[in-house]
Amino acid sequence: MSGLLLILHPLPDGSLSKSARETVTVAQTTAQALGMPWCIGLSGSATQKAADALAGTGAASILAVAGADFDVPRYASDAAAAEALARQSGAEIVLAPASARFSRCLAGVAQRLGGRIDTHITGLEVNGGTLRARRWYYRQRMEAVFSRAHRPWFLLIDGGIATPWQGPAGQAAVTAVAVTLADDSRRTTVVGLQAPASDAQTIRPDANVLFVAGAGWTKKQADGQPHVGEAATLIRGFLGKAQASLGSSKSLVDLKTEGQQTLDFMSHLNQVGQTGSTPRHPKGLSTCCHGEEPHVVGWRFIGERRAINLDPNCGWAQGKADVVYVADAFEVMRNVNAMLGAS
């Protein structure tokens, strides 16, 4: 058993997602640092097209499980393809992006090969010839750097930790790997895809800015009245112009379940924090949110942090933000939107 394998699911048109191209960079640098050959394993109906796009990566070989059966996200066929690719390659290190598909099937594949798996990997480094992985524990409060002697070692790589690979396409030689699916591996069928309209989609993982709204947007303002309608217009106006991703505090999304008037385009999926998400963006702007620790712990991977709050003693001012504007967020966002040309 030797070498490193990177497994990817090309889209049916042969293109590769950003997170897939990020793992190409991770595989290249890791294999180089370990001084071991590496190969790529693909599955789906457009494997030749994807292989041609990856021709300049420096991978020693490209293996493919080809067929439309492998386009759809389904445990049985995804696991069968990944298992065949891993067996054929004989790799001791197997990498894959932490997509929903790989997160679902790869632990089972590791089990079939008698291997071990680690998930949510945020970094790989080689020290004295030993591969070490990084991941966060306890809601990103503690980071561990660890290694394993057991092989094969499967690692699911989180998005946003490497520059997506880009290079010229070429003509790639592909080694076919045969997988025959039994009828019971096709029992699950994908009947269609339902996705919200793009303007209704407020969670944008690739956005440069995370805009966080807190419960203050729904509270009584200086005139003694709440202004939830205007809050919604200001927030949507900013999101549309800046193409920012929308985050929320827990208090704001909880208001809905408490029957209070709130922002109808928010759900618990937007919640950032200890019991919410930990998004990754270069910049973040917190508005009308107090900046309490259970919320701010979700900002671990936000680069530059700014906050707008009426309260000069809010949590953000206690060393949790780079810049705090002690100001009325309604007024600030009205002006920001006017500068951006939004309503």
Ligand X SMILES: Cc1cc2nc3c(=O)[nH]c(=O)nc-3n(C[C@H](O)[C@H](O)[C@H](O)COP(=O)(O)OP(=O)(O)OC[C@H]3O[C@@H](n4cnc5c(N)ncnc54)[C@H](O)[C@@H]3O)c2cc1C
Distance spanning both ends of the chain, measured CA to CA: 61
Q: How many CA atoms lie within 13 A of 138 on its CB side?
A: 4
Smallest separation, CB 211 to ligand X (Å): 13
Helix, strand, coil percentages for the chain (3-state, nearest 5): 35, 25, 40
Q: How many CA atoms lie within 13 A of 204 on its CB side?
A: 22
| Secondary structure letter of residue 315 according to DSSP | G
**Which CB sits closer to ligand X, 10 or 237?**
237
DSSP 212-235: EE-GGGGS--TTSS--HHHHHHHH
**Which CB sits closer to ligand X, 159 or 298?**
298
Smallest separation, CB 234 to ligand X (Å): 11
**Which CB sits closer to ligand X, 3 or 216?**
216
Query: Are 66 and 84 in contact, with CB atoms under 8 Å apart?
Result: no
**Which CB sits closer to ligand X, 232 or 252?**
252
DSSP 3-46: SEEEEE---TTS---HHHHHHHHHHHHHHHHHT--EEEEEEETT
CA distance 151 to 139: 28
Smallest separation, CB 292 to ligand X (Å): 4
CA distance 91 to 85: 9
**Which CB sits closer to ligand X, 236 or 295?**
295
Smallest separation, CB 255 to ligand X (Å): 9
Peptide bond into 152 cis (omega under 30): yes
Smallest separation, CB 246 to ligand X (Å): 13
Query: Are 224 and 248 in contact, with CB atoms under 8 Å apart?
Result: no
Smallest separation, CB 327 to ligand X (Å): 7
**Which CB sits closer to ligand X, 15 or 267?**
267
Map residue 312 onto helix, strand or coil.
Answer: coil
**Which CB sits closer to ligand X, 17 or 277?**
277
Smallest separation, CB 270 to ligand X (Å): 10
| Phi, psi torsion values for 209, nearest 5 degrees | -125, 135
Q: Which residues bind ligand X (CB under 6 A)?
A: 214-216, 219, 221, 249-252, 271-276, 288-290, 292, 294-295, 298, 308-311, 314, 328-330
CA distance 200 to 217: 20
Smallest separation, CB 243 to ligand X (Å): 23
**Which CB sits closer to ligand X, 118 or 328?**
328
